[in-house]
Amino acid sequence: MMNAQATSLQITGMTCAACAARIEKGLHKMDGVTMANVNLALENATVEFDSSRVAVSDIISRVEKLGYGAQVKENDQAVFNHREEAIQKQKRKFAISAILSLPLLWTMVGHFSLTSFIYVPEILMNPWVQMILATPVQFIIGGQFYISAYKALRDQSANMDVLVVMGTSAAYFYSVYQAVNTNAQLHYPHLYFETSAVLITLILLGKLFEAKAKGRSSEAIQKLMGLQAKTALVIRNDAEREISIEDVVVGDIILIRPGEKIPVDGEILEGNTAVDESMLTGESLPIDKEAGSIVFGSTVNKNGFITIRATKVGRDTALAQIIKVVEDAQGSKAPIQRLADKISDVFVPVVIALAIMTYLVWLIFLAPGEFGPAMESLIAVLVIACPCALGLATPTSIMAGSGRAAELGILFKGGEHLEQTHHINTVIVDKTGTVTNGKPILTDVIVAEGMNIRMLLSFIGSAEKQSEHPLAQSIIKGIEQEGIKLREVRDFEAIPGYGVKATVNQRAILVGTRKLMNKYNINISGALGMMEELEAEGKTAMIASIDGRYAGMIAVADTIKDSSGQAIARLQDMGIEVIMMTGDNERTARAIAQQLGIQRVMAELLPEEKAQEVRKLQAAGRKVAMVGDGTNDAPALAVANIGMAVGTGTDIAMEAADITLIRGDLNSIADAIIMSHKTMANIKQNLFWAFGYNTLGIPIAAAGFLAPWLAGVAMAFSSVSVVLNALRLQRVELNKKATKKWDVH
């Protein structure tokens, strides 16, 4: 009989996607392991296994035999502490490497006639001084690259660390060879200690940025968990008791005061209130609730005292389901296999083979028995083929592209997202807070015949002033902005689900729904047509009566951002399908979509349903970008190919997304896609020149026509050309009015 069990392990020592793949492969080979999923970004592994055939200790041992560290995952704080320690360690290594490399970088000016006027201390030109500075960088600071390269080669693969080790080792050991075999009193040899040391320093800087970026997704989950109420006031044995949220069970009767978070999902037994469900639906307007209504944990009870019966607790609540979707999506996202890694799989073995072949040909045929010429030709081949430019091709473009994007208000969380974005052919936009401003305002005032508009607003504002309903605040703010003075109120009464009743200047005032007017027998037959028109436009309309007669109507609505229409049209002109997805009702959503020219609308969706719709589009072959601003958008942001969070939205949305649009301007969506296109084109140019230029030099070096020092100059020139090409991205200008159909795929 199978005893199914699962464990989560914290993994240390991973440096690239190949590491995660090797661990997964090794664990899958174990007898009794049914599933292993290693997440490089979160540095953890989720393993499902048969406990009757294999133990957790066996799984940890297997990971350790593969060359990595593993331990059962502790609490989130322990993981955070481990990550902070890793970042501090990486900072120390970079600082030491930079201190040792700067003097070597100084010596580079002596290699070029254009910079020969710069003073270089004589002691720094001494090969032994340079070796003393470079050796700790090469083998102590850079030891992590040797370890990673060894693991890759052991598993018959070649990653970027193999390229780094090959290139820096070629430069370092050739410099050692020159230093040992040169009479320093006669001349200084051509040395490349600075090449290896500076390259390792720059790569360490990239690793530091990577270490800081890791774990942002787990921080998003921590913030989601932080939304939960900590305690609940329950009735047990006819007594009120405040207990921990973890101790609430299905069937508990819970009391919830105004302003408190609802602790668990449940059904209202007594009371009326308005509940802010924006963390679930994203909608700014609270929902009126009464006995029999369903409420969700972590939403906010705005203004009424209610009693609920717990129906879902723990992992079954709506918020827990959001957390699960985000966790699952983060774990399932495969890291991008960089084009440079694909090239290196073939490039590295071929170069090594050619270098050895060159050495043997010189030693046996061209200069029989002469070690020097054979070694110089071998080193020349390795130096000219040194992957400095190949290693710089992708990261420099990504750094320049992402830096320029940041200036435009677009934050890419990582280079892989900058790479992926250019594939997008479908953009899903949330409604509230994304295409709209997310705050309801007073939009319309309709007055009955013979009624003065300022008098009507004065009566309505006065009646609503004592209301705790959030819509009332929008109404009062709009009225006060018109400079209308509010009056003294008596006999105020809020009628949940209906509206308000009050006496203002001895006049009986009612403001609210159709139901309120019908309850007090107010004839509103002449106003219903206008009310339906306003509601068809996505507005919330309320009727007012004075002394039992219809007096007028007001409407509040969330307004569309000024830039939304232009941004949507721009995306459509680029050949990208735009879809609106919202938790709001169908009528309101379609009214907004129609104004924006959006043809496809998905409305009345819960957070997990939004994620399901994204998956359906992906299953149909679409590359989907989800743009949202609220906690309710987090699952869809996480499962989309690219999640874009509006910077004016919640921290949860921004943490779950791959890209943050800082300015809240939807034009940033098109800007992000265009920057991705330009950056990917730049990367391909860099890879072509880095690979092509060095490959062209290999046969020249092998033939003995290229001295190692010249090969070093050529290698440096290819690196400089790659960097200069990448820097062009920093001058990219985007025309908001320009439209172009992209070859999206």
Rounded Cα–Cα distance for residues 270 and 79 (Å): 43
Contact indicator for 7, 38 with CB cutoff of 8 Å: no
User: Which helix (DSSP H) or strand (DSSP E) does residue 462 occupy?
Assistant: helix 453-464
Length of the chain: 745
Secondary structure (H, E, C), 652-711: HHHHHCCEEECCCCCHHHHHHHHHHHHHHHHHHHHHHHHHHHHHHHHHHHHCCCCCHHHH
User: Which helix (DSSP H) or strand (DSSP E) does residue 288 occupy?
Assistant: strand 287-289
- Residue 572, CB half-sphere, CA atoms under 13 Å: how many? 14
Q: Which of 430, 558, 658, 671 is catalytic?
A: 430
Sequence-distant (6+) residues with CB within 8 A of 503 are 489, 490, 491, 509
With CA atoms as reference, report the closest residue to 46 among 15, 10, 82. 10
Rounded Cα–Cα distance for residues 628 and 643 (Å): 8
With CA atoms as reference, report the closest residue to 111 among 15, 191, 177, 167. 191
Contact indicator for 79, 218 with CB cutoff of 8 Å: yes
Active site residue 247: no
Cβ-based neighbour number of residue 154 at 10 Å: 11
137: left (phi over 0), alpha (psi -120 to 50) or beta: alpha
- Residue 580, CB half-sphere, CA atoms under 13 Å: how many? 31
- The one-letter code for the residue type at 231 is T
Cβ-based neighbour number of residue 259 at 10 Å: 10
CA R_g for the chain:
33
Rounded Cα–Cα distance for residues 185 and 169 (Å): 26
End-to-end CA distance of the chain: 47
**Sign of the C-alpha dihedral, residues 714, 717, 721, 726?**
positive
Sequence-distant (6+) residues with CB within 8 A of 217 are 41, 42, 326, 330, 638, 655, 656
Rounded Cα–Cα distance for residues 729 and 407 (Å): 12
User: Which helix (DSSP H) or strand (DSSP E) does residue 207 occupy?
Assistant: helix 193-213
CA distances 484 to 150, 461, 480, 559, Å, are 77, 9, 5, 23
**What is the number of helices (H) and of strands (E) in the chain?**
25, 26
Rounded Cα–Cα distance for residues 594 and 431 (Å): 12
CA distances 208 to 20, 27, 202, 410, Å, are 19, 29, 10, 21
Residue numbers annotated as active site: 430
